Structure formats: C-alpha cells, structure tokens
C-alpha cells in the first residue's frame, strides 16, 4: 500500500457551491462519476443507498460518497444549508484512489467543520476572482483539493486485499495508460496485451486479478463515466457526447448507457438537472 501512496496524486475538480433549501427536497436516485463531499451546515438530511442501510446526516456533519455509488438524498428539515464539492482523486495516473482505500461515510467533529470551512472559502474565492484568471483558479483548485485530502488522511484506511492487487496493477499499467489516453478510439485486447508484453490470455487473467473486471468492461465503464461527466457538466448534444465517449452510433451508445445506468442519456441528464440538492 505504501507503494500506492508514494505515487503522484492527481485530482479532478468538477464543481462546488453552497445550496440553500427553504423547503424539503430530494435529489432523486442518482449515480455520479465523481466523489460527493457534502457538509451539512444547517438542517438534517437522510441518504438512501442501493446497498446498505440509510444514513442520517445532521448539522455540522460531513457525508462522503465515492464515485459510482447509487444514492438518493432527502432533506428532512426546511431551511437546510449544504456546502458541497464534487471531486475525484487518482493515483498511478488514472486509478481512483478510493478504489484502494475506505473512509467513513459520515464524519463529524473538527474534521467535518474544517472541510466545511475549506469548501466555504473555495466558494467565496470563485465568486470574487474573474473567470479569465485561469492560472490562479487552477492553482486554487489544486490547493483546496489536496487540503481536503490531507484533512481526511487520518481517516483513510487501505483495503486489506490491496497488496495482492498491486503487483498485478504494475504489470498492466501500460495498458491502463493506453485505455485512458485512447478510450475514444477502437482498442482491442490484443493491442493492450502487446503494450504489456503479455500474451492475450495472460493479459486477460492478470487484468481481471488487478481490476476485478475484464479489459473491455473497464474500457466501457470508462466511456460511460466520461459520458456521465459530459451530460452533467455540458450542454452538448447526445450525438456530440456519443463521439466524445468513444462511440460511433448514438443508438448503440444510448442502449448501452441505459443498460448500465438504468436511464437513457437524456433521462439521466434531465434527472440530475431536475434534482439539484447538491448541484450538478
């Protein structure tokens, strides 16, 4: 595990804001391609998950929901206030840090208050700094992103099985890099195996041991994750997103998206925009 944590971290900031709800509201059921950190400044909220019991978050508590976890949030009180941020952390170039480690889903005390303050300061910064100051804004994103990670560090624990996974991940690292670089192109298993100097059958076996899924499943999941980000953060057409997600046919893309997400791309976008308890 130390080998993983000694790798260079990369963060991907998506959005952050403060949300005030004068009335009781909910997010609708959703599965997001990024981690949700939401600090409950005022009021109470209950979260329901596809797996596991519901969790209630009261004032001055923080909820942490890793990327890809299906959830639905209901505010339980009127006049609720939330400071939230959507962010991803990666190690070994493109692997989600939180696929290697676990963290409590509800956090209180000084850590929660500190993260709430960091998010609040970031929101204030974004409203004061002109959008054309790109270097300053990006530098601040990295600062607040890594400050949040550092604040959470003492609560993060590695999954026990990581040590055995790690040796296999190193073997397939060239293939992972190729997938993340060229996911919009046509990539075959043999191409990826060649990157790693393994036979196709050896590569397939090692990849499954490392990632828990086949190389082609990993590629398809990456494409769907990218499509979700574009649906949430842009106003691009479904046809444009189809191409940017690595598909040539919008019908095939929409059918596979619905198979994976339970909703068509149009309905997924509409559902996220309709229920904006913690923003887009």
Task: Answer yes or no: are the C-beta atoms of 219 and 183 closer than 8 Å.
Answer: yes
Please report where in the chains the tokens 């444009």 appear, as a residue: 240
Which of 168, 271, 254, 273 lies closest to 213 in space, CA to CA? 168
- Residue 166 confidence (pLDDT): 81
- Residue 5 confidence (pLDDT): 55
Task: Answer yes or no: are the C-beta atoms of 38 and 59 closer than 8 Å.
Answer: no
CA torsion, ordered 70, 75, 80, 82, to nearest 10 deg: -10
Here the tokens at position 217 are: 């499943």
Task: Answer yes or no: are the C-beta atoms of 176 and 93 closer than 8 Å.
Answer: yes
pLDDT tens, per residue, the chain with 280 residues? 555 555 578 899 999 999 988 998 888 889 999 999 999 999 999 999 988 899 999 999 999 999 999 999 999 999 999 999 999 999 887 889 998 899 999 999 999 999 999 999 999 999 999 999 999 999 999 999 999 999 999 999 988 777 778 889 989 999 999 999 999 999 999 999 999 999 999 999 999 999 999 999 999 999 999 999 999 999 999 999 999 999 999 999 999 999 999 999 999 998 887 665 554 4
- Residue 280 confidence (pLDDT): 44
Q: Supply the pTM of this predicted model.
A: 0.86
Task: Answer yes or no: are the C-beta atoms of 70 and 31 closer than 8 Å.
Answer: yes
Distance CA 160, CA 193 (A): 28
For residue 8, give the DSSP letter: P
Distance CA 20, CA 82 (A): 7
Radius of gyration for the alpha carbons in the chain, expressed in angstroms and rounded: 20
Domains of the chain and CATH, by start? 2-159 (2.60.120.10), 162-273 (1.10.10.60)
Please report the DSSP string for 105-145 in residue order. Answer: SEE-HHHHHHHHHHHHHHHHHHHHS-TT-HHHHHHHHHHHH
Q: In the chain, which ranges are E strands?
A: 10-21, 35-42, 45-49, 55-57, 61-65, 71-75, 80-91, 95-96, 101-102, 106-107, 157-158
Chain-wide mean pLDDT for the chain? 91
């Amino acid at each position: 595990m130390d080998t993983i944590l000694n790798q260079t971290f990369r963060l991907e900031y998506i959005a952050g804001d403060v949300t005030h709800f004068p009335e009781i509201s909910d997010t609708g059921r959703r599965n997001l391609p990024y981690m949700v950190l939401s600090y409950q400044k005022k009021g109470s909220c209950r979260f329901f998950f596809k797996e596991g019991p519901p969790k209630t978050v009261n004032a001055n508590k923080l909820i942490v929901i890793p990327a890809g976890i299906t959830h639905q949030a209901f505010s339980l009180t009127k006049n609720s206030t939330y400071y939230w941020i959507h962010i991803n952390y990666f190690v070994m170039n493109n692997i989600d840090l939180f696929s290697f480690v676990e963290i409590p889903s509800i956090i209180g005390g000084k850590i929660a208050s500190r993260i709430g303050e960091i998010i609040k300061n970031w929101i204030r910064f974004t409203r004061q700094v002109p959008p054309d100051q790109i270097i300053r804004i990006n530098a601040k994103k990295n600062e607040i992103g890594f400050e949040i990670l550092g604040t959470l560090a003492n609560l993060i624990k590695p999954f026990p099985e990581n040590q055995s996974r790690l040796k296999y991940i190193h073997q397939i690292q060239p293939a992972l890099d190729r997938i993340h670089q060229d996911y919009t192109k046509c990539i075959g298993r043999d191409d990826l195996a060649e990157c790693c100097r393994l036979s196709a059958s050896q590569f397939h076996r090692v990849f499954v041991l490392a990632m828990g899924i086949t190389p082609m499943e990993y590629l398809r999941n990456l494409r769907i994750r990218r499509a979700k980000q574009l649906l949430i953060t842009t106003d691009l057409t479904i046809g444009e997103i189809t191409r940017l997600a690595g598909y040539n046919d919008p019908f095939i893309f929409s059918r596979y998206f619905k198979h994976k997400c339970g909703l068509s791309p149009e309905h997924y976008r509409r559902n996220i925009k309709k229920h904006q308890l913690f923003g887009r």
